[in-house]
Chain A
Amino acid sequence: MSFNRKLLATAALIVILAILPLVVGRDDIINLMFMMFLSVTLAQSWNILGGYAGQVNLGHAAFFGVGTLVARYLWFSGTPIYVAMLVAGLVAVIFALIIGMPTFRLRGAYFAIGTLGVAETVRITVGNVLPIVTALPSNFIVNYDLNLRYYAALVLAVLTVLVTYWLVNSRTGLGIVAVREDEDAGEASGVSALKHKLIALAVSSFFAGVAGGLFAFYHVSYYYQFPFAPNWTFDALMITYIGGVGTLIGPVVGAFFYVTVREWLAVSIVDAHLFVFGAIFICVVLLLPGGLVEAWTKMQRVRLLSRLLRPTPPVKSVVKGRGEQT
């Protein structure tokens, strides 16, 4: 597809998604779509650091969780929710940079384990300090508007993808990818590895924090430590890998696939759906490292190839003739 056609298709998709709540009157579908948009945001933000910068971060849930804490607190004390979400993103960035400085000294698997350790520490701390449920005050519940949450989630998802697109096509984006590919060669070419990792971390954690704000805006009641749970990290990671790690469209495709299939499996086989996703994840990593995006491009190529190789009569006769001779 040419760039213009892609742009057109994207615009059409966004318009359809924008009218959806007006035509579909079912709350369950709107809730499902909300989860999809939230997942797109979380996965894409994970992808910025994990996919483009190549730093497998297993502590993403901590940024998300910090976002929920900040946004919930500010919102309940009278700050407009969108301001609260923005601040949630910024606080998540500060938090991430404080964590990032020491953890970026670790490379590869050590970085992954390190971030997981930090996130779990934060989760347990929050669970101990705030072992309670946060619930919307009654006047908030009376005015609860699901469609508003839907649109907020849609806008955030689109914004995350747009910013990622802008980032990866910028000079800084090239530097980030260069550091992923080879840190030494990057540094020798003038790209500061630490600086570019921190930039990727900052953008990544910002959107995770804002997504946390969205979660705080959406959920009526939850345990404070719930958004800190590691499954938020692993959902984002699996979505990104299933869709196509280090690609712009991967996390979007992955989120739609993942959330739909999860919903369907959760209804039919309840908790066993985790096994299914475990299996899918292993298959993708082993057989299809580029995810669904790669599967799609491969299919396109096979189709093109088969069209080129489609035997026309003269070719066929030549092949046959040769076969007869030998």
Chain B
Amino acid sequence: MLLTLDDVSKSFGGLMAVRQLSLAVEQGEILGLIGPNGSGKTTAFNLISGFLKPDSGGIKLQGKDITRLSPPKICASGIARTFQMVKPFSHLTALQNVLVGRLYGCSPAKTQAEAREECYRILDFVGLAGKHQILARNLTLVDRKRLELARALAAKPKLLLLDELMAGLNPTETDAAMRLVRSIRDSGITVIMVEHIIKAVLGMCDRVVVISAGEKIAEGSAQEVVNNQKVIEAYLGKPRYA
């Protein structure tokens, strides 16, 4: 197991955002994390990446406890993430944005020159070739999403958390993003993705976990999960028999 969550709970005041969530992520898989709005998906990501500390339960990466580590420490131990609302370093160039990931991140480059070379490759890989010197704030939303992904990749993580990477993309861009994520997995990086675009979930995820109101309600292959009665109810409500 690469990552395990063991009975993790987190509440904000009276609201249980995540309730006794247990997860196991295997090396090399793409795990989908889906659920209706407000079901606790992003909270789960924030717990894994250290931005929130769980009230109870434990999180382990390759058997090592990372529950109470700070976000930079968790990143250093091998987890990189993107944000749902992209957070580029606005006044830095695309290259500098990615360099931050490469020079810090999970396994920092030894020299700046080496880091630069790799960053060029990563920028080309996500489709930002020729835009290295553009300030992040001058990029389009799609390009900023690419940049967000490039920065996370530059960290060289074992586990990559993608928070609604495809939201706001058109179908062509979604297809491109799907190809991108698959080749990331093929390069040996395990991926957990929170996603609302069902096509992406069905097309890519090896396994899907569904949470609703902070609780895991289903787990299995994408096909199994979308036909699960509980899942349908969570999204659409219980059928009313009039």
Contacts and interface: CB of A to CB of B under 8 A. Distances in A.
A189 B101 contact: yes
Given A178-B89, A181-B92, A185-B89, A192 B100 contact: no
A182 B112 CA distance: 22
A193 B75 CA distance: 13
A171 B110 CA distance: 10
B46 to A, nearest CB: 10
A190 B76 contact: yes
A177 interface: yes
Interface stretch (B35-43, B80-88, B185-193, B205-213): B80-88
Contacts of A193: 72
Contacts of A187: 51, 70-72, 75
A182 B75 CA distance: 16
A185 B83 contact: yes
A184 interface: yes
Interface string A183-198: 0111111111100000
Interface in B86-125: 87-92, 96, 99-101, 103-106, 108, 112
A177 B83 contact: no
B103 to A, nearest CB: 5
Interface string B46-70: 0001010000000000000000001
Contacts of A182: 87-90
A188 B71 CA distance: 6
Point out which of A175, A182, A188, A246 has the most chain B C-beta atoms below 10 A from its C-beta. A188
Interface in A241-293: 246
A191 B104 contact: yes
A182 B82 CA distance: 13
A191 B103 CA distance: 9
Contacts of A192: 70, 72
Kindly state the interface size class of chain A when it binds its partner.
Answer: 10 to 19
A113 interface: no
Nearest to B148: A185
B105 A181 contact: no
Q: Which of A175, A177, A189 has the most CB of B within 10 A?
A: A189
A174 B103 contact: yes
Given A185-B83, A189-B151, A190-B105, A174 B72 contact: no
A175 B92 CA distance: 12
Nearest to B137: A181
A56 to B, nearest CB: 16
B112 A185 contact: no
A191 B100 contact: yes
Contact of B90 (A171, A181, A191): A181
B165 interface: no
B181 interface: no
Given A177-B89, A184-B51, A189 B70 contact: no
Interface string A84-98: 000000000000000
Nearest to A192: B72
Contacts of B108: 171, 190
Contacts of B76: 190
Nearest to A169: B112
A190 B92 contact: no
> Which of B51, B99, B100, B103 counts the most chain A CB atoms within 10 A?
B100
Contacts of B99: 174
A204 B72 CA distance: 24
Contacts of B83: 184-185, 188
B106 A190 contact: yes
Contact of B72 (A177, A191, A246): A191
A181 B155 contact: no
Contact of B92 (A178, A184, A188): A178
Nearest to B50: A187
Given A175-B100, A178-B92, A190 B87 contact: no
13 contacts: A171-B112, A174-B100, A177-B91, A182-B87, A182-B90, A187-B75, A188-B51, A188-B75, A188-B152, A190-B76, A192-B70, A193-B72, A246-B91
**Which 10 residue pairs across A and B have the least CB separation, nearest first?**
A190-B104, A181-B89, A185-B87, A190-B75, A187-B71, A192-B72, A178-B100, A182-B87, A190-B105, A171-B103
